[in-house]
Structure 1
Amino acid sequence: MFVETMLQEDLKAIERYYGDQGFINAKILDVNKEIVFDQDEHLNKMVITIVIVEGEAWTYAGMTFNGNRIYSNEELEALVLQQPGKTFSSTKFQIDYQRVSDLYFENGYIFNTFTYEEKRVEERREVSYIVDITERDRAHIENIIIRGNDKTKSYIIRREIPLEEGEVFSKAKIIEGTRNLYNLQFFDVVDPQPYPGSSDGLMDLIIDVSEGKTSDIGFGLSFSGGPDFPISGQLNWNDRNFLGRGQVLGAEVNVSPDVQKVTLRFTEPRILGKRWSGGVDVSWSHDVNRRINQDWDGNGLPDPYNTWEEYDAAGRIVPEDYQMEYKSHYVSTGVNTGYTWVTRFGRLGLSTGLRFTWEYVDYDPTVFRPHNQDLRENLENWKYDDSISFRLSWDTRDLQFDPTKGFVLSENLTFAGLLPVSRRDYIKSITRFNYNLLMFNVPVNDKGGAFKGTLYFNTAFSGLFDKPWSDTIADRQRDGFYIDGMFVGRGWDPSSGYRYLWDNTLQFKFPLVPNILAFDIFLDGVGAWVATRGQFDSSNALLNMNINDWRFSLGAGFRFANPQFPIGIYLVKKFQWDLKGNINWNPEPDLTEFKNWGMDLVIAFNMNIY
């Protein structure tokens, strides 16, 4: 379909391209449009002919400066990256020119004026520029005025702006403050504008905001294929700007055949006005725990095995007929705190949390006998567990939700078993790297609309370890990692009890309606290992990994990109390599929803992992 505005954008792009190749006299003289009828497709098509005069390519001869006293010629010339003697590029010239003006603006000289004069030497086809600078005193901020904040307290906005009244104006700090306000996810629009103050050298910084929705009630549904057909519903209420003070108050209810959970939470992100956060949560849950190993003969091995050699030879896999299920009630409370340092290299975060849990276990002891001794002792008793966690992160993303550039590198460590009465004793590590890159940004109208494509890459390695100073072996069935088929290993049959899990995702995101709907294409690859001793020792399992250890998912679908209601609906094709290097395109034929295509439908709710 022909769109006139897109044609005009294309014409401008053609002229820019010629200008960047040194053809500074290139012009589009005429655009001829002719409508022809396509007999094969039975529709009218438009043939566009563009008439161009190219001229000759010119060479760049440099940039000089007049009127500069605050910064020397050498300091300004160091900002000019386009090299004299090379083919002239108009885009590179504009970037260098902007870089020079930004040096002044970022240091408070916003009242300066800049003009440039083009000089041409026709016989050598050389072009150079003289930049005239009229320098004035630095601008100081007289007033910071917030407008449009009906709910949010003004001090919440002001603390995100790294400027105070009386300070020298800084463009870089204004940009940083604007990004901080958008990351709060309180506002749809943030528009800072400088205005002249009451006298020369003074200016007012007026920040106009348009508040978005911060209090929501949401409902979600998640399911993926598998023999137990895991399906869950979620109802949540969340206010990310409670009483306009920037605090978070929320409640969440999760309901599925296996899990029912209620959680209440409160977070203060800025204790004493610092980037020091603190939070508390309390929850109750009722779980049905399936596929639990038994030990009726008391030999210390899961039934039906009598020796470790037999267990190893079976790949540490226990037949379902020998496994059991039990019900448990949990009451849990946690407290957490953390601090974020904002630096020129990104946001550095350090946080810690304590969690205290009481569990009540119920099963029929005349029918079942768990392999795990803690479960046997927990029967119809409340048992105590505790843990402390630490998280270190480095975040350079431009936006925390749906970013277009930057990365996150983080390490999470959890130590379970602080007090002697705690049953669980382990160390858990999750190392994660997440990278985002804007691939293209094509304007589609004259109102700022654009079609964007973002590359997203995520890799996370998780490990469950025994404490070196303890004789207790970590229970991988209760505390290990799992493939859920919805977020990890999309489309695969859920499985659990892994000591090591390496989850990877390469995803292309294409926003169709900004902040509402996006189209995604992804490739997932997840490896999982059960390792404790013998040939399944951790060092052996990881050092001797092969391609057969990995599950892959290739898929595409739509994602609702609302921060309060992120749902993904995907069609997924699973595949796996065998030991001979052959690809099996239907590794779980009995668990596939669309058997003719060999594909699965995955609906995932609440996909934000940070």
Structure 2
Amino acid sequence: MGHRFLLSLLILMTALGTAFAQNEGRNDGPNNRQNNEEWYLNKPIVDVEFQGLNNVSENDLQGVVEPFLGNLFTEDVLLDLQRRLYNLEYFDLIIPEAVPGNEERTEMILRFTVEERPVISEIRLQGNQKLRRETILSEIILTQGELVSRSQARIDTDAIISLYNDRGFADVSVEFNYSEDPDPDRNARILSFTIDEGYQTNIRNISFSGINFATENKLRSVIESKEQGLFNPGTFKASNLELDTQNILEYYGQNGYVDAEVLDIEQEIVLDEDKKRQFLDLTYYIDEGIAWFFGGIEFNGNTIFSDEELRSQVNLEEGDVLDIQTFQQGVQAVNDMYYKGGYIFNQINFSETRDEALQQISYSVDIVEQGRAYIENIIVRGNTKTLDEVIYRELPFEEGDVFSASKIRQGIGNLYNTQYFADVPAVETPQGSVPGLMDLIINLEEGQTTDIRLGFSVGGGGDFPLSGLVKWSDNNFLGRGQTIGADLNVSPNQQSLALNFQDGWLFGERWSGGASLQVDRQVKNDELQDVLYPIFDKDDQDDHLSVPDPFTGIYVFSEETEYPNDGDENFEPNYDAGEPFPGVPTASDIDEYNLETDYEYAGGPAAVPDENKMEYVEWSVGGSLSTGIRRRTQLGWINLNGAVSSNLNHVSYDDSLYRPYSYQTRENLGVFKFENRISMSIGLDNRDVYFNPQNGYLIEQRFNYTGGVLGGAKNYIRTDTTLQAYKTLFDLEVSDTWSWKMVLAANSSLSLMLDQFWTYPGAGSFEAEGRLLATNSMTIARGWPARGEGQALLNNWLELRMPISEDILWFDMFGEAVRLTSDRADIFSKGEQDWLFGFGAGLRFSIPQFPFRIYLGKLFNIQNGTVNWQDGNLFNNPEEDGSGLSLIFSISL
């Protein structure tokens, strides 16, 4: 770049002088001409222009140019700007020119005429036999159409080598070169990578020399290198040898062999030219040393914490085998005790004393305690949308507070959980203006908080179980940390529109407030018409009485029906005419007699054939106000929330054709009825990341009080109890960008519908209103057709989650057991009735703005002690009962 830069500077001097001469003429005196020729010096730069741009956009240059706008022009400024433009590697030549910014020449425009670098017209690969072209190209950055860059080509060369090394090609070599494009009219180059793959190396045998305490099988299990076998290709990676050494020493260190060494790793190569591969025998030469025991630890110089407090952090007792990893964790815990209190300037030095006779190592800790550190300045960077005050309120500290490492970690976690930022905020802690003061710099990268979602969900119930979704929301509205949104759901049987607003901070506290408005239209096409009850003559067991309904012609009873005694003086129907609804014969009565009707007793109202069920439309317009308080404790966040809501409901149907079973539905025909509700919840939340937990727990109790003393057309009480737990089972770093981990997630929740303890005269119960619990086929009883009419719902599931790309996509395995009972008393009863089981696996997106899940599952229930497998909608064999898998797709809001 140096010769081009000097050439540009020479051209600049010539161009600037020429520009002056053309503008000023040749009749001025020598001194005046010299001043005019340098008119641009120390003039403010009002604009930077570019000529000759074809493939490079001016937007790509703004980041370099903008800091110079407004600066006074000098040769040093020009040199700095040109250097930065050349460093972009977009141009082969940059020629500057000074242009007056106004007639008075009090401002100047810096114009660059550029010669762009050529673009890449083609990428060629030569010599790749074992890896496909697509596999290699997916590892490199440069693509067709990009500008030629030798530095990026070198980086891509290293990426190809690394790819081959990971596949066992330890001797691979890669070179690149640019060649002229055959089309002379194109400013383009062909990028070629020439690959000498060498031989693929597989590990044939791994052995260990010098071991006495450890076994070969145990050491093979702790190292990364693996022998070739039935379930492992044994691919050799040279980078694993260093990890092998670390893992071997870690294993010995956990068992007291703190002096163990890996002296050498011998590699013996056997070449198989016919198969064009080579095999490797690895031998690890180890000096185990002797086992050491823990001889105790003493502390010197500590006054802030007692010896007992510090010693309690080291989970080793005198005489224990010296587990060096446990000891080091204890050392870190001692440091953390001081760091939590702001004592970050302490000097802590460890020394050991060995007793060869007892094979014990004792430790002495010398502590030089210093004063606490305090936060002088809190500096936030990178928040282009979010207001500073929204960020500061999430921090459990302020300027002047003690510099507490634990509170800083807590504050960073709070910021991440807001979901306003793309990644965990990075923190810098430079020293402040004087010793003892620290600056805290929080570097943020703002994420997407506006969510515009178009989608659909598929369930198992209904004739057309498909619903469309349009959702817009912004959970950081105007950067104020407020949430505003609108939801539109459309399906053949239900349409709803909801508007909502919430502010999580009121009066400078974690006190939330919100409001919502919703309009809902629902077509209910599975409603019972009246009730069918067989009525028996108690004296004449062969006789029965049924009265036809005047609306439908089927034999049903209602509370308004006159019951004749058919002239029999001894006839006593088994109902009390004073009750709102007639009595019901017992199951033994039904089993004993052969009824002259097709209807069967179903534990309540008699089952009505589908053709005798009715359809009606219900409109609901409502609004709600909500509030909540959130406080952090040592056990987690305590959440207390409450809401009041009121809905105005309207029912319509053709009363000349239909008569609903529900008294409330009949009363609601053509008039508006209120539904009033108070809901409350209290919870303890210790989850690390709310939208994708990997550790922690949630305990929550919800309570819904509808009607009762509040009045309204609907009256019931509902309770929901939820217990959830999350645990990362292991987390192994595989690469710089991916860790292999497994997260175990568990849920158990119980929902109950209860009668109101008091209602206004004439008010109905939840049973009469049809306000019962249900499964939804997507998140409760996944894959099963939706079921309703339940008084109790028990939802248990267990998931094993593994990230594919942690912030985007996870692979989940699940198993669940759901029970929905029509009688509360049956929910915890023994037996197999009403249970729905399922298990499966699939993909789950962890992006809050894209909450889709898709699983393949297998469903079953148990009947009479026999597992009853359900037919799946995929891979189903019509001739085999219970075959196939169920495709489960959902949007979990």
TM-score normalised by structure 2 residue count: 0.63
SS in 2 for 1:564: coil
Q: 2:610 aligns with which of 291, 302, 320?
A: 320
Q: Distance in 1 between matches of 2:832 and 2:277?
A: 51
CA contact (8 A) 1:565 1:606 kept: no
Matches within 5 A, 1:564-603: 564-579=849-864, 581-586=865-870, 589=871, 592-596=873-877, 597-603=883-889
Aligned AA for 2:778?
M
Q: Which residue of 1 aligns with 2:427?
A: 192
Q: Which has the higher contact order (CA 8 A, sep 6+)?
A: 1
Q: 1:299 aligns with which of 544, 549, 558?
A: 558
Matches within 5 A, 1:503-522: 503-522=795-814
Cα offsets for 1:551-599 (capped at 9, x unmatched): 10111111111111111101110011123x221123xx4x744423432
Task: Check 1:307–1:522 CA distance in 2 against 1; reply closer, same or farther (3 A cut).
Answer: same
Aligned AA for 1:20?
Q
Task: Check 1:42–1:221 CA distance in 2 against 1; reply closer, same or farther (3 A cut).
Answer: farther
**CA displacement at 1:440 relative to structure 2:** 1.0
Q: Distance in 2 between matches of 1:520 and 1:43?
A: 37
**CA displacement at 1:186 relative to structure 2:** 1.0
Residue 454, structure 1, aligned to residue 738, structure 2: no
Q: Distance in 2 between matches of 1:556 and 1:550?
A: 20
Task: Check 1:456–1:543 CA distance in 2 against 1; reply closer, same or farther (3 A cut).
Answer: closer
**CA displacement at 1:523 relative to structure 2:** 0.5
Q: Distance in 2 between matches of 1:602 and 1:400?
A: 24
Matches within 5 A, 1:473-484: 473-475=765-767, 478-484=770-776
CA contact (8 A) 2:793 2:827 kept: no
Which deviates more from structure 2 when the two are superposed, residues 44-53 or residues 483-492? 44-53
Residue 19, structure 1, aligned to residue 253, structure 2: yes
**CA displacement at 1:525 relative to structure 2:** 0.6
**CA displacement at 1:23 relative to structure 2:** 1.0
Q: Distance in 2 between matches of 1:543 and 1:181?
A: 42
**CA displacement at 1:606 relative to structure 2:** 2.0
**CA displacement at 1:69 relative to structure 2:** 3.0
Cα offsets for 1:30-65 (capped at 9, x unmatched): 3345667999x9987665443332222111112222
Task: Check 1:226–1:422 CA distance in 2 against 1; reply closer, same or farther (3 A cut).
Answer: closer
Once superposed, what is the RMSD of the aligned Cα atoms? 2.5
Task: Check 1:356–1:129 CA distance in 2 against 1; reply closer, same or farther (3 A cut).
Answer: same
**CA displacement at 1:436 relative to structure 2:** 0.6
CA contact (8 A) 1:140 1:167 kept: yes
Cα offsets for 1:450-494 (capped at 9, x unmatched): 111111111111011111223732137632111121111011111
SS in 2 for 1:163: coil
The ranges of structure 1 where at least 4 consecutive aligned residues each deviate by more than 6 angstroms after the TM superposition are: 35-39, 41-45
Q: Distance in 2 between matches of 1:26 and 1:213?
A: 51
Q: Distance in 2 between matches of 1:271 and 1:444?
A: 44
Q: Distance in 1 between matches of 2:239 and 2:770?
A: 59
**CA displacement at 1:521 relative to structure 2:** 0.5
CA contact (8 A) 2:431 2:438 kept: yes
Matches within 5 A, 1:239-254: 239-254=474-489
Matches within 5 A, 1:547-562: 547-562=832-847
Residue 87, structure 1, aligned to residue 328, structure 2: no
**CA displacement at 1:118 relative to structure 2:** 2.6
Which deviates more from structure 2 when the two are superposed, residues 408-417 or residues 463-472? 463-472
Aligned AA for 2:832?
I
Q: Distance in 2 between matches of 1:476 and 1:254?
A: 27
Which deviates more from structure 2 when the two are superposed, residues 289-298 or residues 233-242? 289-298
Q: Distance in 2 between matches of 1:453 and 1:99?
A: 26
Residue 142, structure 1, aligned to residue 423, structure 2: no
Aligned AA for 2:775?
I
**CA displacement at 1:389 relative to structure 2:** 0.3
Q: Which residue of 2 aligns with 1:101?
A: 335
Q: Distance in 2 between matches of 1:488 and 1:162?
A: 38
Unaligned 5+ segments in structure 2 are: 1-166, 168-234, 531-548, 550-555, 561-581, 591-598, 878-882
Q: Distance in 2 between matches of 1:38 and 1:527?
A: 61
Cα offsets for 1:158-202 (capped at 9, x unmatched): 111111211111111111111111111111231223221111221
Q: Distance in 2 between matches of 1:124 and 1:562?
A: 57
Which deviates more from structure 2 when the two are superposed, residues 219-228 or residues 557-566? 219-228
The count of corresponding residues between Structure 1 and Structure 2 is 592
Residue 271, structure 1, aligned to residue 506, structure 2: yes
Task: Check 1:240–1:27 CA distance in 2 against 1; reply closer, same or farther (3 A cut).
Answer: same
Residue 255, structure 1, aligned to residue 480, structure 2: no
CA contact (8 A) 1:477 1:496 kept: no
CA contact (8 A) 1:568 1:605 kept: yes
Q: Distance in 2 between matches of 1:256 and 1:48?
A: 64
Matches within 5 A, 1:114-513: 114-187=348-421, 188-226=423-461, 228-295=463-530, 296=549, 297-300=556-559, 307-309=584-586, 313-316=601-604, 317-417=607-707, 422-445=712-735, 447=736, 449-470=738-759, 472-475=764-767, 478-513=770-805
TM-score normalised by structure 1 residue count: 0.91
Normalized per residue, which structure has more strand?
1
Which deviates more from structure 2 when the two are superposed, residues 412-421 or residues 505-514? 412-421
Which deviates more from structure 2 when the two are superposed, residues 462-471 or residues 343-352? 462-471
SS in 2 for 1:273: coil
CA contact (8 A) 1:413 1:427 kept: yes
Q: Which residue of 2 aligns with 1:534?
A: none
Which deviates more from structure 2 when the two are superposed, residues 510-519 or residues 324-333? 324-333
Q: Which residue of 2 aligns with 1:606?
A: 892
Cα offsets for 1:499-530 (capped at 9, x unmatched): 11101111111111012110010011100111
**CA displacement at 1:356 relative to structure 2:** 1.0
Q: Distance in 2 between matches of 1:202 and 1:174?
A: 15
Task: Check 1:479–1:84 CA distance in 2 against 1; reply closer, same or farther (3 A cut).
Answer: same
Aligned AA for 2:602?
A
**CA displacement at 1:307 relative to structure 2:** 3.5
Q: Distance in 1 between matches of 2:240 and 2:694?
A: 24
Unaligned 5+ segments in structure 1 are: 532-537
Aligned AA for 2:719?
S
Matches within 5 A, 1:9-48: 9-33=243-267, 48=282
Cα offsets for 1:268-305 (capped at 9, x unmatched): 0000110100000111122122311111545259xxx9
